């Protein structure tokens, strides 16, 4: 398995530092003393489903299909060493200095190259370099959302956006996703309903390509309609696209940003999945009035994104091999996806369905409705295997019979073994349910509502 950094090891193996001992002995009275100081917004802050699990899944004996980690062991270490040495020899003083809040012009040129590979041509002034795509999400929400404002997201949505929406006290409404991405017809119905109530959503958040967590891609037709809707109703769409270049088969669709030209679509990108999440470098493209506020928001947040990381990216792109690295990643992840799909066919019950992503890092599996994947995870962890329970991708606990499975971080043998173990735990549950209900009528499968409960996914042609 990929080696984990020391700071991510299991709590049991950690030395008991004085700070840890103090935390372990925090009393109710201690908590009360601080509680009076907390801002109201802390009451609605929530942790993300994936972050909560990182500590458990970092244990070396656990096969984690839970995280969204790219396989950074594939990055050539000699190339990394050469780039860092060059920076140290030629630009140490600048690389160790603060930089502009908007990011360096050279880094923006790298971003323009990446976006150019998907047919986009943003103005450098419309780009701000951020500390990962996650900060871009935080900044755009900070810029646009007052407490109680409506934000529309997909159902399921990226679990990591939910803590941001909670922190800014947005009211999140989710629109069901099927195998062609967000149900834009349901979105229109929802927008009509909101309009009748005199409410205007601040933005529509979507991950149109190889969605995290469902692995599905918004069809070309729906993309065009979504952009039309945004333009007709003058609504903002936030397009989050970390995975667009990680396509393993099929033809690329136009991005929403390309279709719209950047008036109503705000675009979020990141180097995390095509280079490294450790460098914490992402970006946001927005029209000038929005950008002005985003820059102010970033100044108060971190002054500027890591100068050293920007220098690293500049050096890396100057080598001219960034696309070749992405091609190598595509090969690795395509095989791992195929191994996972094959293992699912072998080990998951006939009642289960799952998506068949053409790219990205995840697929979404849905089990019989009597299985709760949060409970199932507790059982699976005893067998040292982890996944993200589907409820973490909804604001209201739906998705409880679904799970997100990652196929980029574990190697092929681990994926086979991990799915075999999860399949065994599911089989136990199916058997138990069968034994308890032998004489009873089978439980009816719940219909999915407009918020998107269980997402039945199309099976691979020729599969069961
Ligand atoms: C859809 C989506 N948005 C944003 C992020 C955040 O990525 P980062 O902050 O590493 O750029 C992720 C990470 O998995 C993601 O899947």
Of 26-40, 169-183, 337-351, 369-383, the poorest mean pLDDT is in 26-40
The percentage of residues in the chain with a pLDDT greater than 70, rounded to a whole number, is 88
Domain boundary, last residue among 288, 318, 348: 318
Measure 415 CA to ligand 1 centroid, in angstroms: 22
Mutating to test ligand 1, I would choose from 70, 130, 133 the residue with most ligand atoms within 8 A of its C-beta, which is: 133
Domain boundary, last residue among 267, 297, 318: 318
209 and 227 together in one domain: yes
Is 158's C-beta closer than 6 angstroms to any atom of ligand 1? yes
212 and 312 together in one domain: yes
Per-residue confidence (pLDDT) for residue 38, from 0 to 100: 87
Quick check: is 267 in a domain?
yes
Is 305's C-beta closer than 6 angstroms to any atom of ligand 1? no
Q: How far is CA 139 from CA 108, 136, 218, 355, in A?
A: 18, 5, 25, 31
Measure 137 CA to ligand 1 centroid, in angstroms: 9
Quick check: is 220 in a domain?
yes
Question: Has residue 26 got a pLDDT over 80?
Answer: no
Measure 133 CA to ligand 1 centroid, in angstroms: 5
Q: Residues of 67-87 as b/e, b for ≥16 C-beta within 10 angstroms?
A: bbbbbeeebeeeeeeebeeeb
55 and 131 together in one domain: no
Is 242's C-beta closer than 6 angstroms to any atom of ligand 1? yes
Using pLDDT thresholds of 50, 70 and 90, give the confidence band for residue 19.
low
Quick check: is 90 in a domain?
no
**Helix, strand, coil fractions of the chain, as percent rounded to 5:** 45, 10, 40
Q: How far is CA 399 from CA 137, 392, 431, in A?
A: 23, 8, 22
Taking residues 206-233, report their average pLDDT. 98
Q: Residue 402: name the closest of 455, 332, 336, 464 by CA.
A: 455
- Per-residue pLDDT tens digits for 120-166: 999 999 999 999 999 999 999 999 999 999 999 999 999 999 999 99
Q: What's the rounded Cα separation, in Å, for the pair 334 and 342?
A: 12
CATH code (residue 34): 3.90.1150.10
**Are 177 and 452 in contact, with CB atoms under 8 Å apart?**
yes
Residue 133 Cα: closest atom of ligand 1: 11
Domain around 175: 98-318
282 and 134 together in one domain: yes
Is 132's C-beta closer than 6 angstroms to any atom of ligand 1? yes
Is 240's C-beta closer than 6 angstroms to any atom of ligand 1? yes
Is 205's C-beta closer than 6 angstroms to any atom of ligand 1? no
CATH code (residue 197): 3.40.640.10
| Residue 374 backbone phi and psi in degrees, to 5 | -70, -45
Element (H, E) at 382: helix 373-382
- Please name the residues in contact with 346: beta carbons below 8 A apart, sequence gap of 6 or more: 419, 420, 423
Any idea of the CA torsion for 135, 141, 144, 146, to the nearest 10 degrees? Answer: -140
**Quick one: tokens of 62?**
């656990």
275 and 162 together in one domain: yes
Q: Is the peptide bond before 156 cis (omega within 30 degrees of 0)?
A: yes
Q: What's the rounded Cα separation, in Å, for the pair 374 and 397?
A: 10
Taking residues 74-84, report their average pLDDT. 91
Quick check: is 10 in a domain?
yes
Quick check: is 457 in a domain?
no
**Are 332 and 409 in contact, with CB atoms under 8 Å apart?**
no
- Per-residue pLDDT tens digits for 287-319: 999 999 999 999 999 999 999 999 999 999 999
Of 37-46, 70-79, 404-413, the poorest mean pLDDT is in 37-46
Q: Residue 404: name the closest of 211, 189, 267, 265 by CA.
A: 211
Q: What's the rounded Cα separation, in Å, for the pair 117 and 104?
A: 20
Is 133's C-beta closer than 6 angstroms to any atom of ligand 1? yes
301 and 329 together in one domain: no
Q: What's the rounded Cα separation, in Å, for the pair 419 and 393?
A: 21
55 and 178 together in one domain: no
122 and 271 together in one domain: yes
Taking residues 366-375, report their average pLDDT. 95
DSSP string of 402-449, one letter each residue: EEEEE-SSS-HHHHHHHHHHHHHHHHHHHHHHHHHTTTSPPPPPPPP-
How many structural domains are present in the chain? 2
**Are 220 and 227 in contact, with CB atoms under 8 Å apart?**
no
52 and 162 together in one domain: no
208 and 270 together in one domain: yes
128 and 34 together in one domain: no
Mutating to test ligand 1, I would choose from 134, 163, 268, 271 the residue with most ligand atoms within 8 A of its C-beta, which is: 134
């Amino acid at each position: 398995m990929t080696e984990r950094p020391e700071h991510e090891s299991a709590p049991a193996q950690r030395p008991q530092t004085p700070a840890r001992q103090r935390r372990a002995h925090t009393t109710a009275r201690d908590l009360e003393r601080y509680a009076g100081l907390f801002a109201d917004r802390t009451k609605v802050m929530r942790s993300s489903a994936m972050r909560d699990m990182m500590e458990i899944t970092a244990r070396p004996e656990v096969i984690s299909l839970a995280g969204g980690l790219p396989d950074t062991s594939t990055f050539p270490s000699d190339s990394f060493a050469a780039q860092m040495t060059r920076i140290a020899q030629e630009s140490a003083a600048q690389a160790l200095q603060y930089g502009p809040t908007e990011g360096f012009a050279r880094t923006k040129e790298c971003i323009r190259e990446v976006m150019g590979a998907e047919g986009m041509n943003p103005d450098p002034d419309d780009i701000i370099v951020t500390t990962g795509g996650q900060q871009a999400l935080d900044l755009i929400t900070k810029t646009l959302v007052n407490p109680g404002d409506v934000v529309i997201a997909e159902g399921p949505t990226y679990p990591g956006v939910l803590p941001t929406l909670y922190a800014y006290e947005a009211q999140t409404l989710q629109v069901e996703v099927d195998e062609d991405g967000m149900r834009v017809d349901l979105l229109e119905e929802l927008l009509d309903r909101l309009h009748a109530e005199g409410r205007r959503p601040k933005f529509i958040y979507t991950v149109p390509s190889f969605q995290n967590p469902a692995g599905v891609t918004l069809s070309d037709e729906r993309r065009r309609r979504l952009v039309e809707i945004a333009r007709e109703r003058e609504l903002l769409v936030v397009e989050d696209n970390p995975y667009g270049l990680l396509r393993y088969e099929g033809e690329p669709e136009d991005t929403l940003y390309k279709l719209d030209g950047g008036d109503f679509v705000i675009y979020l990108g990141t180097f995390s999945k095509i280079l490294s999440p450790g460098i914490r470098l992402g970006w946001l493209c927005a029209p000038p009035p929005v950008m002005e506020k985003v820059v102010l928001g970033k100044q108060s947040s971190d002054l500027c994104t890591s100068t050293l990381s920007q220098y690293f990216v500049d050096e890396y792109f100057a080598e001219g091999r960034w696309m070749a690295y992405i091609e190598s990643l595509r090969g690795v992840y395509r095989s791992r996806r195929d191994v996972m799909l094959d293992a699912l066919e072998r080990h998951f019950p006939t009642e289960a369905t799952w998506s068949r992503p053409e790219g990205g890092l995840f697929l979404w599996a849905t089990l019989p409705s009597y299985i709760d994947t949060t409970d199932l995870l507790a059982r699976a962890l005893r067998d040292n295997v982890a996944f993200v329970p589907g409820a973490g991708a909804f604001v209201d606990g739906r998705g409880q019979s679904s799970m997100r499975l990652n196929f980029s971080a574990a190697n092929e043998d681990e994926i086979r073994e991990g799915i075999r173990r999860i399949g065994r735990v599911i089989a136990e549950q199916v058997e138990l349910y069968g034994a308890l209900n032998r004489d009873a009528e089978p439980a009816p499968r719940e219909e999915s509502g407009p918020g998107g409960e269980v997402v039945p996914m199309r099976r691979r042609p020729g599969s069961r």
